[in-house]
């Protein structure tokens, strides 16, 4: 079983730990969080250092930081250092074999990604997200719980969609937009 270390021990980091626990191929190795050493545990896992303590060790990482700008900075910095970001997909998520999920993507429970859709590097989709046909979700985007994205939608880089947002058919959402 491969270990994944989670960057950020807050709400999103704990959410990612739950996803990892649903999988047979990965296990949580611990957390990196800037509140260390004041905070030394999240769920039942150790916080082993601050974010800047991550060494170029060719380890598997997941970003538990929601802000798309910080997601981008962290992922690019750690890839440069030689670390890896495998995609983490909850066991209850339904993904069409005709879709494409890039590296470092996080897909939460009870979500679906239908045919022709592409989820780009470092994007994070929380629980109960419905991605319809031929949707493109840009890198580093954060899609809140309960979001529904209609057919032929393009989300630019770093888009942040709040809880329960509905994006209608054929829309283009500009990069780094925040919609609630």
Q: What is the pLDDT of residues 40-83, one digit of tens each?
A: 999 999 999 999 999 988 999 999 999 999 999 999 999 999 99
For the chain, domain boundaries? 2-80, 87-180
In CATH, what number does 2-80 get? 3.40.50.20
Name the pairing type of β-strands 41-42 and 45-49.
Answer: antiparallel
pLDDT value for 92: 97
Cβ(5)–Cβ(61) below 8 Å? yes
Name the CATH code of domain 87-180 (choices 2.160.10.10, 2.40.50.140, 1.10.540.10, 3.90.700.10). Answer: 2.160.10.10
C-beta of residue 54 within 8 angstroms of C-beta of residue 33? no
Q: What is residue 122's predicted lDDT score, i.e. its pLDDT?
A: 97
Structure confidence at residue 1 (pLDDT)? 87
**Averages of pLDDT over each 10 residues, the chain, 180 residues:** 96 98 96 96 96 93 96 96 96 98 98 98 98 98 98 98 98 98
**pLDDT score of 171:** 98
Per DSSP, the residues of 83-103 read: -B---EE-TT-EE-TTSEE-T
Same CATH topology for 2-80 and 87-180: the answer is: no
pLDDT confidence of residue 57: 87
Record the tokens describing residue 148, joined without a space: 């529904």
Helices then strands, each counted (H, E), the chain: 2, 21
């Amino acid at each position: 079983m491969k270990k994944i270390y989670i960057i950020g021990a807050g709400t999103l980091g704990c959410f990612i730990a739950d996803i990892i626990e649903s999988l047979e191929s990965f296990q949580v190795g611990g957390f990196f969080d800037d509140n260390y050493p004041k905070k030394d545990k999240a769920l039942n896992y150790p916080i082993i250092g601050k974010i800047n303590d991550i060494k170029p060790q060719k380890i598997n990482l997941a970003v538990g930081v929601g802000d798309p700008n910080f997601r981008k900075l962290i992922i690019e910095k750690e890839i440069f250092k030689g670390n890896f970001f495998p995609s983490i997909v909850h066991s209850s998520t339904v993904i069409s074999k005709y879709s494409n999920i890039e590296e470092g993507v996080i897909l939460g429970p009870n979500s679906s990604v239908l045919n022709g859709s592409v989820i780009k590097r470092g994007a994070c989709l929380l629980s109960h997200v419905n991605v319809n046909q031929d949707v493109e979700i840009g890198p580093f985007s954060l899609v809140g719980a309960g979001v529904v994205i209609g057919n032929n939608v393009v989300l630019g880089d770093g888009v942040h969609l709040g809880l329960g947002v509905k994006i209608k058919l054929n829309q283009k959402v500009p990069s780094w937009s925040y919609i609630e």
